[in-house]
Structure 1
Amino acid sequence: MRLSFVFIFLCFTIAWAQETTALICGNLITAKDTHVQADAVILIKGDRIVEVGTMDLLKAGYTVIDLSEYTVLPGMIDAHTHPLIYGSEYQTNHLKGSSAFNALRGLKTVQEWLEAGWTTIRIAGDADTKYAHFEIRNAINAGLFKGPRIFGAGHYISVTGGGGDINYISNEQSVIPDGLIVDGKDEMRKAIRQEIKNGSDWIKLLVTGAFMSTGDNPRNVHFSDEELKTAVEEAGQRDVPVMMHAHAKEGIVKAIKFGARSIEHGTFLDAETIDLFLEYDTYLVPTLTVGTYFRLKDPGNVALTKTQRSQKEFREARMKVLGEAHKRGVKLGIGSDNVGFPGNFAANEFHEFVKFGMTPMEAIIAGTKVNAELLKMDDSIGTIEVGKYADIIATKKNPLEDITELQRVQFVMKGGEIIKSTE
């Protein structure tokens, strides 16, 4: 009887060892705090982290991944993306292919982003007449394809003539815009229900005009108070948070007061609006990299020239006020507003955060722990801790010494599965 017990115990121990992966880390940034641990070990079983500690954790039989020459940290989280958008004519590109084709194109895009180290993304509405990006999400979740964890909104909801509408085609023509167009509280209520029915776990509202669109002004507020109130109430009944695109100060103020969980862009932020962010505990996702991208290349059309112009006119003042927002404790999240640029370039957002005053560690936490909290997923992702998904990346050089190293991620693991190896 005793021998049988010992045999069973040994079999169990061997099985545990065979199913356990040990990551040896040269430097470990868990992102749960600012501590950096040298010569650390992460034990992974299945898709979860089961132990984090010293080299003493290593046991015979473990599958060992040697990252002792690397800095290891949580997978990056991009809180503002548009994987279906591509090219300079993005407001009509969605009409050039079917929703199925858009999904295939988008799948390739998010797979490239995962390879670059983005293990989780939030989609801030996307360019499709249907819901192609949710088909991508569902296929990834079903295990049919590899890809990042995906959360987000179906469409960016806009008023007639707003940033989500197509405002440069003859009124004799009937086309489906990339945004969802609503006017009045009844249409708003129906739109929110439709978005949630079709898979949205976030709602996205264009409260003001946009820079990357034709025929609207980012300094104008578009939705009425009644429409905004209806949107937040309806989404709240389903426990779905609302992100609100807002450039103009008045739009930022309205969005915060009516209950946005996050403000996207916030271009004309000032001291008064900083007070509101703190009072209402609202997140800000400033999306700086998209402007940098178009500043470095020819926009190719009139609409995107607005973005390029905004970089020249508003960047200096904007970076200054973002530095003040950070000093005062506003919760700032990393979001690249990726509209078709490479995933490694999207990590430039960390560099932008350092430019306005964050330390490299603070920027890393903004793109991991803070974004996980924004998504209400901090029990599962965002830090390297026991019980969380093994979403882990590694860089050859230390990003605390050069934050641009996050644009050169060498190792990617999502849910315990190696996506990109150093070998």
Structure 2
Amino acid sequence: MMKNRIVLSVLMLMFSFALHAQVKTAIICGKLITAEDEAVLTNTVILIEEDRIVEIGNRGIIKPDYEVIDLSAYTVLPGLIDAHVHPLIYGDDYQVNHLKGSSAFNALRGLKAVQNWLNEGWTTLRIAGDADTQYAHFEIRDAINNGLFDGPRIYGAGHYLSVTGGGGDINFFSPDQSIIADGLVVDGKEEIQKAIREEIKYGSDWIKILVTGAFMSEGDNPQNVQFSDEEIVAAMEEAKRRGVPVMAHAHATEGINKAIQFGARSIEHGTFLNDESIDLFLEYDAFLIPTVSVGEYGLETWKESEAQAKMYELTLKHREESWKMYSKAIERGVKVGIGSDNVGFPPYFAAKEFELLVKLGMSPLQAILAGTKVNAELLMKEDEIGSIKVGKFADIIATKNNPLEDITELSRVEFVMKGGKVIKSIK
């Protein structure tokens, strides 16, 4: 009896050690783009313990207790960061779709979306507000963080704040109907302050404000500034008091410029920016997330869409001039990040943004940095993500061919690791 107890105790001790043994992985890279600088390393090894990178060097650093992943025939890069997504939104008639299912169902749909994006190489997402009557996307984030599901790192805003009749309001029902808008409708300083406090209470680590009208919503004009100066300042000050940054949806020139001057960390879209806007981006060290690919998708797909007729017409009309100014912003050194505005579009939709930024004047390396190092800085997470460096999370992807030679390779990611865990392995 005593002997059996001793054997059982030893087995339990061994099992405990096995559970708590460090996961150690060595990745052999053919080419390695660290996104720390412009260098492309060859025949390099990354050592990972648990969820962090612990050493980078040659093959001689591999130790016997490391599991080896051989990517010597691949180009290895940091996990990608998309700074503008809406995982709960879907369809061209998106403004009412959030009412068709419960918040719980929206969470399930959104979980599937973010898992798909992780499988494509997007290890971090910033949600630019989302369409839900509650906060389903934060339930997704919390479930991932608690280890219930695999998924990307998620940061962002609960809802997008809109004025009555603005881009986040529903403007096509009669006044007899009581409808919950896809955005969070607030008017006046007091309502804005309370809304921001509630957004933070329920999990927002960003505040999203629709400073101007939108392209994709009905009944408002993207060339109008919709919040007053007092309201915009109130939003910025309330968020700043709580240590939460603000992303400002802004198409109109005046709205872009005011949002930057009043304290927005990033401008989303920036369609009608001008030379003064570029000067302000540089002066205030603000970020531009142009979301170019959604406009191109609309031109290709929504020509016959009644719900997106306004978006189609405006994109067709203003595309050429906007592209010229985006190119000028890139040339002058504005911090431009990757943001796809992905709302459940076809697979690998978001990777199109890299290709379009190259068309706008970025080098392939600059485009890669826009979706890694620059966006990590935008998120103020540059010590944790955005490049392959000792001490950072082991968020790593690989492509068969070199995206510096063909940027479209980022739409064919073949290996994904998030925090040291393999999400997608080489077939």
Bin for the TM-score computed over the shorter chain: over 0.9
Aligned in 2, Cα 1:255/1:67: closer, same or farther, shift over 3 Å? same
Are 2:281 and 1:268 aligned?
no
Q: Contact 2:22 / 2:50 at 8 angstroms: preserved in 1?
A: no
2-structure distance, mates of 1:314, 1:28? 39
1-structure distance, mates of 2:283, 2:345? 35
Q: Contact 1:290 / 1:339 at 8 angstroms: preserved in 2?
A: no
Q: CA deviation at 1:314?
A: 1.7
Aligned match for 1:125, one of 129, 144, 164: 129
Q: CA deviation at 1:329?
A: 1.1
Match of 2:378 in 1: 374
Match of 1:116 in 2: 120
Are 2:240 and 1:227 aligned?
no
Q: How many residues align?
A: 410
- SS of the residue corresponding to residue 296 of structure 1 reads helix
Q: Contact 1:84 / 1:106 at 8 angstroms: preserved in 2?
A: yes
Q: How does 1:246-261 map to 2 (within 5 A)?
A: 246-261=250-265
Match of 1:138 in 2: 142
Aligned match for 1:29, one of 29, 33, 38: 33
Q: Contact 1:23 / 1:67 at 8 angstroms: preserved in 2?
A: yes
| Percent of residue pairs bearing the same amino acid type | 68
Deviations 1:125-183 (A, max 9, x none): 00101000000000000000010000000000000000000000111100100100000
2-structure distance, mates of 1:143, 1:16? 16
Aligned match for 1:153, one of 147, 157, 176: 157
1-structure distance, mates of 2:313, 2:371? 27
Which amino acid in structure 2 is aligned with residue 33 of structure 1? D
Match of 1:9 in 2: none
Match of 1:298 in 2: 302
Q: CA deviation at 1:62?
A: 1.6
Match of 1:103 in 2: 107
Match of 1:404 in 2: 408
Q: Contact 2:45 / 2:56 at 8 angstroms: preserved in 1?
A: yes
- SS of the residue corresponding to residue 102 of structure 1 reads helix
1-structure distance, mates of 2:395, 2:69? 14
Which amino acid in structure 1 is aligned with residue 190 of structure 2? D
2-structure distance, mates of 1:373, 1:288? 21
Aligned match for 1:52, one of 45, 56, 62: 56
Match of 1:354 in 2: 358
- SS of the residue corresponding to residue 339 of structure 1 reads coil
Match of 1:74 in 2: 78
Which amino acid in structure 2 is aligned with residue 156 of structure 1? Y
Q: Which moved more, 1:252-261 or 1:55-64?
A: 55-64
Deviations 1:275-301 (A, max 9, x none): 011111110000011111111113654
1-structure distance, mates of 2:53, 2:236? 36
Scaled by the length of structure 1, the TM-score of the pair is 0.95
Match of 1:186 in 2: 190
RMSD of the TM alignment (CA)?
1.5
Are 2:352 and 1:309 aligned?
no
Are 2:85 and 1:85 aligned?
no
Q: Contact 1:18 / 1:61 at 8 angstroms: preserved in 2?
A: no
Aligned match for 1:329, one of 330, 333, 336: 333
2-structure distance, mates of 1:214, 1:299? 16
Match of 1:395 in 2: 399
Which amino acid in structure 2 is aligned with residue 87 of structure 1? G
2-structure distance, mates of 1:230, 1:312? 35
Which amino acid in structure 2 is aligned with residue 379 of structure 1? D
Q: Which runs of 5+ in 2 are unaligned?
A: 1-17
1-structure distance, mates of 2:135, 2:423? 26
Match of 2:45 in 1: 41
Q: CA deviation at 1:18?
A: 7.2
Scaled by the length of structure 2, the TM-score of the pair is 0.94
Q: Which runs of 4+ in 1 moved over 6 A?
A: 14-18
Which amino acid in structure 1 is aligned with residue 263 of structure 2? G
Q: Contact 1:278 / 1:330 at 8 angstroms: preserved in 2?
A: yes
Q: CA deviation at 1:308?
A: 2.0
